[in-house]
Structure 1
Amino acid sequence: MKQTDTKKLSLFTLTWPIFIEILLHMLMGNADTLMLSQYSDHSVAAVGVSNQVLSVVIVMFGFVAAGASILVAQNLGAEQAKTAGEIAVTSISLNLLFSLTLSLLLFVFSDFILNLMDLPNELLGEASTYMNIVGGFIFVQALIMTVSAILRSYGFTKDTMYVTIGMNILNVIGNYFVIFGPFGLPVLGVEGVAYVTMFSRFIGFIILIFILIWRSNRQLPFTSFFRYKKKHVQDLLQIGVPSAGEQLSYNTSQMAITYFIAQMGTLAITTKVYVQNLMMFILLFSIAIGQGTQIIIGHMIGAGDIEKAYERCIKSLKIAILISTIMAIIFYSFSSTLLGIFTDDPTIIEKGMFLLLITIILEPGRAFNLVVINSLRATGDVKFPVFIGIASMWGISVTFAWFFGIFLELGLFGVWIAFIADEWLRGILMLRRWHSKIWVRKAFVKKES
């Protein structure tokens, strides 16, 4: 792989394939939701809660991918291509071992975990089925994340995008057969959707591995798959564990909030699933900009271009805030039609429209976090976002969700108040951290003179 390829990449060149890739990942989840909504609203709620749990697990093995992405980018910026390759291969091996362990635990303890969520009885059976199948093979998603992160850090963002397109096509076709049962085939519902999800991911992983070998011209040091260098493992953990810690805190706090919402009833759970599916389309602009910015800043930090890195984050943040606000307004303007795609229940549509209205306030706050936190991680400043994140997510988001949503009986409106307070508080604190330039001292790689 040639690091000179990445030096020519602009934010737009990096970001638009990432945007398409994330959009397609979201479409895969939404395809499950949309198709299942024609089958049963209860099935939608069951899969939604199961995916809430699985998202926490994905973050837990995402720490290796996060560390690899940052370290590979910094080493390429410092023109240390051999070290970058060693880290890439080591990260794949480490994540395979760790994710296999988590897959086994999910398969064995799926019922226990769902019972802790206080799920309504009518959802428990389908949620358990989905969790056993998708959770039992979740290690495939870990490998997809790791290989994709490596390819993106080298600048090959289009490759991962094309693979995601193929995975989506397989997923939609498979869902059609298992949910609607054409040509007299059996209707498998949630179980069928789970098998289709895992099959499409497995095919995607196989293709990504072939692309990685091809792009490296078979020059990646695959001996690093079995022989780890202590420094590489330490650096991966030093960046990856805190980076994933912030995401883990977010997802576990969301599980706690989902527990509160489960007490509001199945209708509240279903409304949340539908609204958040739509919100993800707004959010993906900030996610893509944040990831593209992280790659560029990682290279800049490795090359020692501190001022350029500082300016890149600020410019990206302004773009993300503008786009996310505009998209939130557009989605609210068409909220009735969009929610009508998923359901014809007037209560769900009415509640969902109001939540999308106050999402206009929420989304700019999330843009702060996604862009600035990714920028801080790219520099190696990974602990501060975790400390602030844990304090705000649990002290503000979870606490406010219970107080406004359950205690004051404001329902989902109270939960959204908690989301807004949390995102804006964290966002402002992260921006202050970036302005301070404390992160200059945090870089893991210094360009050798």
Structure 2
Amino acid sequence: MKKDRKLTLFALTWPIFIELFLHMLMGNADTLMLSQYSDNSVAAVGVANQILNILIVMFGFVATGTIVLITQNVGAGNSRSALEISQVSIAANLVLGLIIGAAVIAFSENMLMMMNIPPALMAEADYYLKMVGGLCFLQALIMTIGAVLKSYGFTKDTMYITIGMNILNVIGNYLFIFGPFGIPVLGVEGVALSTVVSRLAGLIAISYLLVKRISFQTKALDVFKLPAAHLKNLLKIGVPSAGEHLAYNGSQIVITIFITMLGAEALTTKVYAQNLMMFIFLFSLAISQGNQILIGQMTGAKEYDQAYSRCMKSLYWGIGTSAVIAVIFSIFTDSLFGIFTDNTEILQTGAVLLLLTIILEPGRAFNLIIISALRAAGDVKFPVYMGILSMWGISVPLAYVLGIQFELGLAGIWIAFIADEWLRGILMLIRWKSRVWINKGFVLHSKAAT
């Protein structure tokens, strides 16, 4: 990476936003296109993807640690350590991907049976899970190499790769689901093949960019000669972060169970509302990821005042952007929910939820942006402890009390979300302003660093 290469929040963030937007928009491409083929196939792939989404969290913890460690070392001018961390990260997720892939192939049916999948869906779900999950090391490598490139500021590269993979996946789905030009209609098998081929192409392309951008060269056995501290630091950052994600997903599952007590209509409304909220959420998420790269480099260079002010500016942008977009969504509630349904009760409840979202999303921006900044500075454990405490101590019990006991329904559950997000957000802001995160970095100061 060139030393004089100036990175700005906007330059980093807009490609990340487009990449995230495409992931969200195209993430359900298999489901949408399969719906034209068979409802059973949609259900089968949906159940398999629930399992695969849990596996992605496992790969994500290495990618999270990768960004923190590389940005800090790049900021400190330790180019050799940054390259070493890249090598260790890629090797770690490759090994993890191969192990998990083998486990999926061996225990695919058992996993699906634990999900109580109907017998009629087992064959298709099993095939999809074994094919896509068995080769999940492809996704693991793409995530890790993408994290490396982002750490050096090459966020456009990962955006282009995502665009290319999505295009290939949609073309493959079309060919194997609709069978033009005499191509055999393969249904779920075709969708699985399309997913794997697009990922393989993406891995080849992103590997080429890795070598081109940062002169990445290594031999397989060289990884074992690298400092063990790199792997230790990856785990020190990644494992708590993965724990936080699992705790959040667990709390959401419990709250979803509460919502099922309110009836199928409430569950449907919740799904529609959260699909719309994702578009608001994406802006804060993109800003937090761009901010994390900058904070990591600044703290690595010991530019603590610049890091402090950078985070606060990013926070103002995140809060302002999410609030404005939430207001716009609230104004056009009927039109937005009308995309999914014409049910009057869903439209009325949805309007209340989007109104509450105007308060909810700025609170979420607090969490996303400041937690990513704390993590980038090396302050990893505090956000995790506070997150778990708030999710399970505030969000879950309050959702039950307000939503079920006080019979406020989804509105009560949304109020519980608001309380959780704002409490954590304020705690994170106090932590950031205390500057306790200074000198919590993971830079290895050694003679080998250059």
Fold conserved (TM > 0.5)? yes
Show the counterpart of 1:278: 276
Q: Tell me if the contact between 2:83 and 2:216 (Cα under 8 Å) persists in the aligned partners.
A: no
Show the counterpart of 1:324: 322
Q: Which runs of 5+ in 2 are unaligned?
A: none
- State the Cα distance separating 1:167 from its structure 2 match: 1.1
Show the counterpart of 2:92: 94
Show the counterpart of 1:374: 372
- State the Cα distance separating 1:295 from its structure 2 match: 0.7
Query: Structure 1's 127 and 281: CA in aligned 2 closer, same or farther, altered over 3 A?
Result: farther
Distance (Å, rounded) in 2 between the aligned partners of 1:190 and 1:269: 27
Aligned pairs, number: 447
Cα offsets for 1:137-168 (capped at 9, x unmatched): 33322211110010011111111111111011
Show the counterpart of 2:203: 205
Show the counterpart of 1:337: 335
Distance (Å, rounded) in 1 between the aligned partners of 2:436 and 2:413: 34
Show the counterpart of 2:2: 2
TM-score for the superposition, normalised by structure 2: 0.87
Q: Tell me if the contact between 1:71 and 1:87 (Cα under 8 Å) persists in the aligned partners.
A: yes
Cα offsets for 1:177-218 (capped at 9, x unmatched): 344454565655555444433332222122111111122335
Cα offsets for 1:223-278 (capped at 9, x unmatched): 54343421111111112222222223222323333444556666555544443332
Show the counterpart of 1:444: 442
> Does residue 134 in structure 1 map to residue 132 in structure 2?
yes
AA at the equivalent of 1:322: G
- State the Cα distance separating 1:333 from its structure 2 match: 3.1
Which aligned pairs between 1:80-229 and structure 2 lie closer than 5 A? 80-110=78-108, 112-113=110-111, 130-182=128-180, 192-219=190-217, 224-229=222-227
Q: Tell me if the contact between 2:19 and 2:162 (Cα under 8 Å) persists in the aligned partners.
A: yes
Distance (Å, rounded) in 2 between the aligned partners of 1:15 and 1:321: 15
Cα offsets for 1:2-37 (capped at 9, x unmatched): 3442xx111111111111111111121143454455
What secondary structure, in the 3-state scheme, does the structure 2 residue paired with 1:441 have? coil
- State the Cα distance separating 1:436 from its structure 2 match: 0.9
Q: Tell me if the contact between 2:330 and 2:354 (Cα under 8 Å) persists in the aligned partners.
A: yes
Show the counterpart of 2:301: 303
Distance (Å, rounded) in 1 between the aligned partners of 2:31 and 2:353: 19
Show the counterpart of 1:290: 288
Deviates more, 1:168-177 or 1:261-270: 261-270
> Does residue 394 in structure 1 map to residue 392 in structure 2?
yes
Query: Structure 1's 259 and 366: CA in aligned 2 closer, same or farther, altered over 3 A?
Result: same
Distance (Å, rounded) in 2 between the aligned partners of 1:258 and 1:371: 26
Query: Structure 1's 445 and 36: CA in aligned 2 closer, same or farther, altered over 3 A?
Result: same
Show the counterpart of 2:422: 424
What secondary structure, in the 3-state scheme, does the structure 1 residue paired with 2:376 have? helix
Query: Structure 1's 230 and 37: CA in aligned 2 closer, same or farther, altered over 3 A?
Result: same
Deviates more, 1:116-125 or 1:192-201: 116-125
Show the counterpart of 1:19: 17
Query: Structure 1's 303 and 60: CA in aligned 2 closer, same or farther, altered over 3 A?
Result: same
What secondary structure, in the 3-state scheme, does the structure 2 residue paired with 1:316 have? helix
Distance (Å, rounded) in 1 between the aligned partners of 2:416 and 2:333: 22
- The structure with the largest alpha-carbon Rg is 2
AA at the equivalent of 2:134: G
Deviates more, 1:260-269 or 1:224-233: 260-269
- State the Cα distance separating 1:438 from its structure 2 match: 0.6
Distance (Å, rounded) in 2 between the aligned partners of 1:178 and 1:412: 40
AA at the equivalent of 1:173: I
TM-score for the superposition, normalised by structure 1: 0.87
Cα offsets for 1:59-113 (capped at 9, x unmatched): 2221111111111111111111011001101110011111222233344445555
AA at the equivalent of 2:203: F
Query: Structure 1's 121 and 349: CA in aligned 2 closer, same or farther, altered over 3 A?
Result: farther
Identity among equivalent pairs (%): 60
Q: Tell me if the contact between 1:262 and 1:268 (Cα under 8 Å) persists in the aligned partners.
A: yes
Deviates more, 1:211-220 or 1:221-230: 221-230
Q: Which runs of 5+ in 1 are unaligned?
A: none
Q: RMSD value over aligned CA atoms?
A: 3.2
Deviates more, 1:151-160 or 1:323-332: 323-332
Deviates more, 1:320-329 or 1:107-116: 107-116
Query: Structure 1's 87 and 43: CA in aligned 2 closer, same or farther, altered over 3 A?
Result: same
Cα offsets for 1:279-325 (capped at 9, x unmatched): 22211111111011111111111111111100111100000011111
